[in-house]
Amino acid sequence: MITYRIQGHPVPVPEQAPPPQEGPEYEARLAEFEARIARGEKIEPTDWMPEEYRRQLIRMISQHAHSEIVGMLPEGKWIPHAPTLRRKLILIAKVQDEGGHGQLLYRAAETLGISREEMIEAFLAGKAKYSVVFNYPTPTWADVAAIGLLIDGAAVVNQLMLAQGSYGPYARAMKRICYEESFHIKQGYDAFVALATGTPAQRQMIQEAVNRWWYPALMLFGPPDRDSVHTPTLLRWRIKTKTNDQLRQEFVDQYAPMVLRLGLTIPDPNLRYDPETGHWRFSEPDWEEFWRVIKGDGPCNAERMAVRRRAHEEGRWVREALTAKAAQRTNGGGNGRYAVAGL
């Protein structure tokens, strides 16, 4: 039995076999379910929902959670090498936030009847995906600034949309996450501007980082609409409210002029503002590269997965200790604060 809190009150989510997904009763329930979504109501864990809605949410939220955890790695490596104590403290806080976001998202997914252990096992076995952008290297400090502005900026464009989605726990988690991500963008912009207005060497460093991260930022939104097999279902049930291509355009419209105003260039010869449409025209990413990285053949896929598997194994004793302590309390065991694992 999984327990979820709604407005502070514990509500059990029963674990049971899914009801039939066809027939008159199912069609009637589906019609009412879609009418609720059309009225802008939130679907909660104890509400009836189609199994495909549940499946899509588990896939999407768990992937999002994995991405937050893996996303700690590209920037986390720069914590010992930050140029100032202030930058170090800011980066520590940011990376810590990402870990917290992952935990919020795992909890949201758990309300759908899947355990955190199942999600993590699928991820470590390579059966679950995470965002393609975190499989690229960060060779200089400027990459931290570029991620803070471009990747976090793209993430917020996406997450503000998800905060309007139909599933209550996911939407509420997104609202909280977006508050913290707004800080991430500000720290990214601050570091970005410091380099862009610094010495010639610093300007060159941030320009090279922009060249590395522009197209991965466009990839963050997922495949083009023409190749996205999930988009129709996600839009139908308002798990998403905009398509991948719409979000990509929104990002370019916001962030391309921001980069150009600082006197930097964007590695796209076709990038230009179209006054007739009010939008920026741009080149699509290399989709062959996108699918290659998704399938595990990116610059850092093996490294990222090796780090996560090692961390999971090294943390096993902590999980076992906590499980033993919980069992001890459940069974009315001793009150010794440090009784577990000899602590």
Task: Give domain status of residue 35, yes or no.
Answer: no
Residue linked to tokens 């464009």: 157
Name beta bridge partners: 280.
273
Full-prediction pTM beyond 0.85?
Answer: yes
| Per-residue pLDDT at 165 | 97
What CATH number is associated with residue 59?
1.20.1260.10
Domain residues for the domain of 207 are 2-15+40-286
Domain membership of residue 204 (yes or no) is yes
Question: Would residue 320 count as lying in a domain?
Answer: no
Domain for residue 180, yes or no? yes
Q: Name which of 324, 300, 305 is nearest 125 in CA terms.
A: 305
What gap in Å lies between CA 318 and CA 143, rounded to an integer? 33
170, part of any domain: yes
pLDDT of residue 11: 53
Q: Read out DSSP for 267-297?
A: S-TT-EEETTTTEEE-PPP-HHHHHHHHTT-
Asked if residue 305 is part of any domain, the answer here is no
Question: Both tokens of residue 28?
Answer: 């009637």
Bridge partners, residue 5, by sequence: 10
pLDDT (tens digit, 0 to 9) for every residue of the chain, 343 residues total? 455 544 444 555 555 556 667 788 999 999 999 999 999 999 999 999 999 999 999 999 999 999 999 999 999 999 999 999 999 999 999 999 999 999 999 999 999 999 999 999 999 999 999 999 999 999 999 999 999 999 999 999 999 999 999 999 999 999 999 999 988 999 999 999 999 999 999 999 999 999 999 999 999 999 999 999 999 999 999 999 999 999 999 999 999 999 999 999 999 999 999 999 999 999 999 999 999 999 999 999 999 999 999 999 999 999 899 989 888 888 765 544 333 333 3
- For residues 164-186, one letter each, b for 16 or more C-beta atoms within 10 angstroms of the residue's C-beta and e for the rest, the string is ebbbbbbbebbeebeebbeebbe
Query: Taking CA 194 as the corner, what is the angle to CA 190 and CA 198, rounded to the nearest 5 degrees?
Result: 170
How far are the Cα atoms of 225, 236, 251, 252 from residue 221, in angstroms, in the given order?
Answer: 10, 18, 10, 12
Q: What is the pLDDT of residue 342?
A: 31
The 10 Å Cβ neighbour count of residue 214 is 24
Contacts of 334 (CB under 8 A, 6+ apart): 328
- 279 in helix, strand or coil? strand
65 contacts 162 by C-beta, under 8 angstroms: no
Q: Residue 251's closest CA among 271, 275, 235? A: 271
Residue 302 lies in a domain: no
CA atoms within 13 A on the CB side of 317: 5
Domain count, the chain: 1
* Structural domain includes residue 31: no
pLDDT of residue 23: 80
> Which of 318, 341, 315, 317 lies closest to 328, judged by CA?
341
**Chain centroid to CA 55: how far?**
18
